[in-house]
Amino acid sequence: MSHHFVEAADVHFAYPDGTLALSGVSFKVTHGESVAIVGANGAGKSTLLLHLNGHHLASRGTVNVGGCLIGPGTVEAARRAVGMTFQDPDDQLFMPTVREDVAFGPINMGLPGDEVERRVVDALRTVGALHLSGRHPYRLSGGEKRAVAIATVLSMMPDILVMDEPTSGLDPGNRRSLIALLATFGHTKIMATHALDMALELCPRTIFLKAGRVLADGPTRDIMRDGAVR
């Protein structure tokens, strides 16, 4: 699967109870872009992100990753190309140790042991958490959990990082550390956030969702300036 773009075209999605979460969402993100997805609670941000690697499949419309339409037969390939961190890192950390959590993805990709170990070390070193490899995830601080959750994604070497509220629940010091870390990543990045300071610092482009629709899509400073997202 190519990594050069992610494109949503007229994506609609309703939950089983009939709640309409997305209503005709369209956008394209090209290789190397960093894009913020902003909007109020319930705007559809998390639901949209879950479409980008096949956790949800559109009721109508398409999601295209590098020329491959995401559907029942391509979900596995989509998840190799698009790595996602969830709003609550506890949703991603479930193994007895940090090392095992970070190794879980590469092991399930069928990689040999030496390659798994290399990826674990590289991913944990990248997020400054190599010293935590033997720790129990539930004993980590909020900032440490967030860093390890990112490492679990990096170990799978995705082309695109999708992040749901990456600074949620972090104290100011850990927020700044995470923003600084994300600024060093060359990946294509798509992140849902309420943290407008992070969007301004990391994302030249912002997509503003309201009630499951794209209300604005353009330069972050222009969208923040018009007051619509406040």
pLDDT tens digits, 121-175: 999 999 999 999 999 999 999 999 999 999 999 999 998 999 999 998 888 888 8
For the segment 200-224, the average pLDDT, to the nearest whole number, is 95
60 has pLDDT over 90: yes
Write down the residue that tokens 């391509």 correspond to: 74
Distance between CA 47 and CA 60 in Å, rounded?
14
Give the DSSP H or E segment for 172.
Answer: helix 172-183
**pLDDT at site 155:** 95
What is the rounded average pLDDT for all residues in the chain? Answer: 92
Distance between CA 60 and CA 127 in Å, rounded?
38
Report DSSP state, residue 17: T
Question: Of 18-22, 85-89, 186-190, 205-209, which has the strongest mean pLDDT?
Answer: 205-209
Stronger pLDDT, 185 or 36, i.e. the higher one? 36
CATH 3.30.70.20 fits 5-225, yes or no: no
Sorting pLDDT into bands at 50, 70 and 90, what band is 230? Answer: low
Residue 4 in contact with residue 82, Cβ under 8 Å?
no
Taking the domains of the chain in order of start, what are their residue ranges? 5-225
1 has pLDDT over 60: no
Alpha-carbon torsion (88, 90, 94, 100), positive or negative: positive
Q: What is the value of pTM for the model shown?
A: 0.91
**pLDDT at site 168:** 87
**pLDDT at site 2:** 45
